[in-house]
């Protein structure tokens, strides 16, 4: 498996990052996960723009996100990812003497890109629906930045796994924000609701796709608040994200959503989404 690291293409086993890298020492960096469908990176431009916005927000000296496109394409090609796959991109503030404040100007950002085949989660999760638990959202107040600092997400997702569920639905001040690695949607009286794009969630690329598809299908959709205690009484619940795509949630905290079957609006959105993908 060939990867890209700081200007070089090399076998993954030979790729080395400094122990002084601020990604390693401080989780001082950003990442993106891009889906590959039929050998093509999906919504790559949107992911690169989000990476750039993150670099600007964190004042990481990395601006030429355009240069990542040919890198992604070359890795897809050279690694023979002709079907479904994943591109992983990570940019850190680079290697420097360990000080909390920024390193000297001109310190090179560390740039890592990998592309590999990906079969995805088991298909029954989309067909029969997945389950979730609620967990406190104890992340910082800049969840809009796709930082590699993911400990709260990891702890919440691990709790979900330990409870033999798929996702942790995060709750801040009694309100559902998002999942540990997905955006959360509710359906009430035929209308889609998801937490407002703000500093408290990552505005998912797939979230934007769901708004677009809903518009095309004539399904009303808006940003709004889902109170944690109302979650169980919604007509439908689903997740959106690069890897989860549009995934029905049929039970939360062991309580079934309606009859415990994926809802009709979720099914319609998923079908339309899948049909829109390159093949």
Per-residue mark of binding to ligand PMP, 204-223 (x: CB under 6 A): xxxx----------------
Instruction: Tell me which residues in 14-53 interact with ligand PMP (CB under 6 A).
Output: 33
- Cβ 203 to ligand PMP shortest distance, Å: 8
Residue 80 or 120: the one with the smaller Cβ distance to ligand PMP is: 120
147 binds ligand PMP (CB under 6 A): no
Residue 95 or 195: the one with the smaller Cβ distance to ligand PMP is: 195
Pick from 113, 202, 226, 234 the residue near ligand PMP by CB under 6 A.
Answer: 202
d(CA 257, CA 227) in angstroms, rounded, equals 15
Measured in degrees and rounded to the nearest 5, phi and psi for residue 96 equal -160, 165
First vs last C-alpha separation in the chain: 24
Mark whether 146 is an active-site residue: yes
Distances (CA, A) of 30 to 7, 23, 26, 202, 210: 18, 9, 12, 13, 24
181 binds ligand PMP (CB under 6 A): yes
- Cβ 9 to ligand PMP shortest distance, Å: 26
- Cβ 129 to ligand PMP shortest distance, Å: 18
Annotated catalytic residues are 146
Binding positions for ligand PMP, rule: CB under 6 A: 33, 153, 178, 181-183, 202, 204-207, 240-242
């Amino acid at each position: 498996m060939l990867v890209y690291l700081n200007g070089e293409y090399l076998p993954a086993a030979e790729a080395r990052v400094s122990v002084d890298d601020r990604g390693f020492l401080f989780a001082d960096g950003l990442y993106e996960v891009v889906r590959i469908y039929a050998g093509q990176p999906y919504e790559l431009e949107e992911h690169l723009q989000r990476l750039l916005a993150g670099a600007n927000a964190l004042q990481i000296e990395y601006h030429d996100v355009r240069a990542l496109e040919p890198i992604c394409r070359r890795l897809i090609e050279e690694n023979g990812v002709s079907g479904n796959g994943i591109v992983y991109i990570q940019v850190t503030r680079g290697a420097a003497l360990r000080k909390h404040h920024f390193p000297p100007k001109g310190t090179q950002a560390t740039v890592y890109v990998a592309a590999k085949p990906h079969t995805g989660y088991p298909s029954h999760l989309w067909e029969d629906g997945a389950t979730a638990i609620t967990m406190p959202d104890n992340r910082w107040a800049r969840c809009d930045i796709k930082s590699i600092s993911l400990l709260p997400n990891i702890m919440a997702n691990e709790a979900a796994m330990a409870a033999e569920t798929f996702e942790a639905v995060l709750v801040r001040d009694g309100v559902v924000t998002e999942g540990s690695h997905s955006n959360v949607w509710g359906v009430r009286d035929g209308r889609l609701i998801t937490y407002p794009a703000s500093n408290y969630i990552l505005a998912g690329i797939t979230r934007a796709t769901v708004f677009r598809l809903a518009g095309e299908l004539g399904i009303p959709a808006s940003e709004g608040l889902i109170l944690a205690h109302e979650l169980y009484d919604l007509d439908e619940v689903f997740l959106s994200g690069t890897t989860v795509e549009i995934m029905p949630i049929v039970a939360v905290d062991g309580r079934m959503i309606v009859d415990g079957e994926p809802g009709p609006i979720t099914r319609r959105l998923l079908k339309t989404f899948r049909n829109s993908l390159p093949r």
